[in-house]
């Protein structure tokens, strides 16, 4: 396999890693500083918008990058290195040793991060609900329509596919017969009376996520001015 | 006071700083944290118009003259509220202490309100220091950092019994305003420092105190809004919202403002420049000129001149009992009254949704 092909495969693998908070691939966010494979050894450098970006999220991204890159056939060993971060040493060593977040931070970390990831997946479901519902509402769908529509009854779109993937990751109903509007904590369908508030919450969650992403991008550009957003 | 198109705006900058962050103030052995912290702040300044950017050297150590010029001479601010940030683990004399702020305030009577701080992990000694600071500086507000390090602990919550002792003490000492930093944070491991549910509990149990959530819970604005809409004494501190989004990301700014106006309401939103991160001048000028950029925002609450007057100064003046000259008040507004400062949540359009 040529180096160029390996390079694109490693980037494709890294594109599967998302910032759990922003719900975007780290490749799109510009968090991958470099990625290479030499003689079966992959070396990936990651960078974040600030020195103090939340270490729990940083840990998740480094660990997920490790898993994705290690899974490539041509990779025998993977080194994932977070650069320029106050907790870089603990995170890099912890991930390399497969220590888990508690193992990496000792007393400073009370629990593993799965529940945190779940919280943010639920936020992604809410934000994704706004993306999918907005055109339906613009086309005249009423709360009663939205309370009864199922996923299979919504026109195909990348936004719908993404919403279904996120629901599947959470173990929430994602098949054609599942209701479009559900409570992401319980999986229960939203009743017609609850639709206006549910849509308001969905829109707010998307706004919050987008605003946060835009601040992170602005900070990254300041920190690494020569970089483009797309890696 | 800012005047535009015949309208006069009384301006209270309810969240600003006077820090000392140069190498001469770094704790030996903690230099990388002290440097990393101020560089992180400096990166936020890059979200402002380029003509207002400072070199890092000035940003670390701006002077008293810089502050007076930027905030009052050029910046239209009538009264500024100092919010302290100690960070004594990294900065020898603290980053921005009550003492440092109050010393500057003492030279300029009537210009500043010096808030103080507390940390429940300081126990009885901390309660004593709080009382001393209130006595010495007349503080009626505090700034709290629930994510701050303290003797091996990596954070606390307002729900902790220790925090309740301090909140009770605040009431006893006449403190009215609890500014809680819920936003870009210092050391948020898996103790979720962005979580705002602790404010919900405290606001319910201490209805006479006002809780101003600074940075509106960014990056979790939604959690903040769902909570604030149910609590009459919870306010949205707009520091970072105006400074970080209005210029850099105007469309997101419009959405965030629309959401805050919907969920929290214009009577419970307060302007804070976050100086020295951002100068107040461009924020105030831009906000007075601001409106939603287009039709797609039509289902958010409208923004009027009265909305802007409330957000830029009248709301915070009410919280702090600042007397507003008669010609700068809204026509139907009563003179500043402490009792009016809580229980105004019915103004939120979100109230009609039943939360």
Cβ–Cβ below 8 Å for B46 and A222: yes
User: Rounded to whole angstroms, how far apart are CA atoms B5 and B239?
Assistant: 25
Cβ–Cβ below 8 Å for B189 and A86: no
A13: pLDDT strictly greater than 90: yes
Q: Which of B30, B43, B353, B354 to mutate to test the interface with A (most CBs of A within 10 A)?
A: B43
B88: pLDDT strictly greater than 50: yes
Q: What are phi and psi of B236, to 5 degrees?
A: -100, 110
Residue with tokens 């890294």: A14
- Between these two residues, B151 and B97, which has the higher pLDDT value? B97
Give, in order, the Cα–Cα distances in Å from A68 to each of A2, A37, A44, A59: 20, 14, 11, 14
Look up residue B311 and give its DSSP letter.
Answer: I
B316 and B81 Cβ atoms separated by less than 8 Å: yes
Confidence tier at A104 by pLDDT (50, 70, 90): confident
How many CB atoms lie under 10 A from the CB of residue B344? 16
User: Rounded to whole angstroms, how far apart are CA atoms B263 and B213?
Assistant: 14
Nearest residue, CB atoms, B190 vs list A49, A50, A101: A101
Nearest residue, CB atoms, A211 vs list B32, B44, B245: B245
**Which residue of chain B comes nearest to A127, CA vs CA?**
B222
Query: Would you list the domain boundaries of chain A?
Result: 3-112, 115-215
Architecture of domain A3-112: 2-Layer Sandwich (3.30)
User: Rounded to whole angstroms, how far apart are CA atoms B116 and B322?
Assistant: 18
Residues of chain B with C-beta less than 8 angstroms from the C-beta of A218:
46-47, 244, 248-249
Q: What is the DSSP string of B108-134?
A: STTTEEE-B---GGGHHHHHHHHHHHH
The enclosing domain of B51 has a CATH number of: 3.20.20.140
Q: Taking residues B56-65, what's their average pLDDT?
A: 98
Q: How many domains does chain B have?
A: 1
A126 and A203 Cβ atoms separated by less than 8 Å: no
pTM of the model: 0.89
Give, in order, the Cα–Cα distances in Å from A97 to each of A10, A55, A112, A113, A227: 21, 17, 16, 17, 31
Complex-level ipTM: 0.84
Q: Is B123 left (phi over 0), alpha (psi -120 to 50) or beta?
A: left
∠ at Cα B327 (B321, B331), nearest 5°?
Answer: 85
Write out pLDDT tens, residues A37-87: 999 999 999 999 988 888 888 888 999 999 999 999 999 999 999 999 988
Q: H-helix or E-strand containing A201?
A: helix A195-223
Write out pLDDT tens, residues A155-198: 999 999 999 999 999 999 999 999 999 999 999 999 999 999 99
Query: Given CB atoms, is B222 within the 8 Å cutoff of chain A?
Result: yes
């Amino acid at each position: 396999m040529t180096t160029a092909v390996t390079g694109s495969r490693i980037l494709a693998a890294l594109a599967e890693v998302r910032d759990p908070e922003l719900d975007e691939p780290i490749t799109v966010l510009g968090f991958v500083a470099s990625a290479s494979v030499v003689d079966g050894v992959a070396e990936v450098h990651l960078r974040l918008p600030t020195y103090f970006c939340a270490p729990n999220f940083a840990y998740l991204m480094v660990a997920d990058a490790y898993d994705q890159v290690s899974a490539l056939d041509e990779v025998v060993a993977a080194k994932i290195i977070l650069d320029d971060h106050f907790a870089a040493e603990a995170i890099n060593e912890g991930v390399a040793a497969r220590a888990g977040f508690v193992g990496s931070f000792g007393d400073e970390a009370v629990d593993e991060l799965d529940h945190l990831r779940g919280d943010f997946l639920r936020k992604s479901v809410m934000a994704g609900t706004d993306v999918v519902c907005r055109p339906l509402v613009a086309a005249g769908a009423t709360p009663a329509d939205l309370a009864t529509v199922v996923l299979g009854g919504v026109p195909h779109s990348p936004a719908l596919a993404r919403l279904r993937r996120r629901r599947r990751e959470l173990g929430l109903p994602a098949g054609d017969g599942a209701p479009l509007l559900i409570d992401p904590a319980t999986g229960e369908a939203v009743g017609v009376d609850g639709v206006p508030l549910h849509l308001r919450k969905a829109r707010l969650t998307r706004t919050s996520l987008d605003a946060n992403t835009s601040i992170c991008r602005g900070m990254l550009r300041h920190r690494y001015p020569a970089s483009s957003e797309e890696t | 006071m800012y005047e535009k198109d015949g309208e006069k705006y009384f301006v209270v900058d309810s969240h600003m700083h006077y820090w000392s962050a140069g190498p001469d103030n770094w704790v030996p052995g903690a230099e990388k944290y002290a440097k990393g912290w101020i560089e992180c702040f400096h990166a936020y300044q890059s979200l402002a118009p380029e003509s207002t950017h400072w070199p890092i050297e000035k940003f670390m150590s701006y002077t008293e003259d810089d502050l007076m010029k930027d905030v009052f001479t050029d910046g239209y601010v009538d009264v500024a509220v100092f919010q302290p940030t100690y960070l004594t683990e990294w900065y020898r004399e603290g980053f921005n202490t009550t003492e440092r702020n109050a010393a500057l305030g003492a030279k300029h009577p009537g210009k500043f309100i010096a808030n103080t701080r507390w940390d429940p992990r300081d126990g009885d000694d901390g309660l004593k220091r709080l009382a001393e600071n209130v006595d010495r500086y007349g503080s009626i507000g505090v700034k709290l950092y629930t994510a701050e390090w303290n003797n091996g602990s990596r954070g606390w919550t307002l729900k902790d019994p220790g925090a309740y002792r301090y909140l009770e003490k605040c009431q006893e000492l006449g403190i009215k305003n609890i500014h809680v930093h819920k936003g870009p944070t210092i050391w948020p491991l898996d103790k979720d420092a962005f979580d705002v549910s602790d404010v919900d509990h405290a606001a319910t149990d201490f209805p006479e105190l006002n809780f101003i959530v600074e940075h509106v819970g960014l990056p979790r604005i939604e959690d903040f809004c769902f909570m604030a809409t149910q609590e009459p004494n919870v306010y949205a501190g707009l520091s970072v919202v105006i400074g970080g989004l209005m210029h850099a990301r105007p469309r997101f700014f419009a959405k965030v403002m629309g959401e805050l106006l919907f969920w929290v309401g214009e009577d419970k939103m307060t302007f804070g420049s976050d100086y020295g991160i951002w100068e107040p001048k461009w924020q105030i000028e831009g906000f007075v000129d601001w409106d939603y950029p287009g039709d797609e925002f039509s289902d958010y609450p409208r923004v009027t001149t009265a909305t802007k007057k409330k957000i830029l100064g009248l709301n915070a003046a009410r919280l702090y009992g600042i007397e507003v000259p008669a010609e700068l008040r809204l026509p139907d507004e009563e003179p500043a009254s402490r009792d009016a400062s809580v229980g105004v949540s019915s103004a939120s359009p979100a109230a009609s949704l039943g939360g």
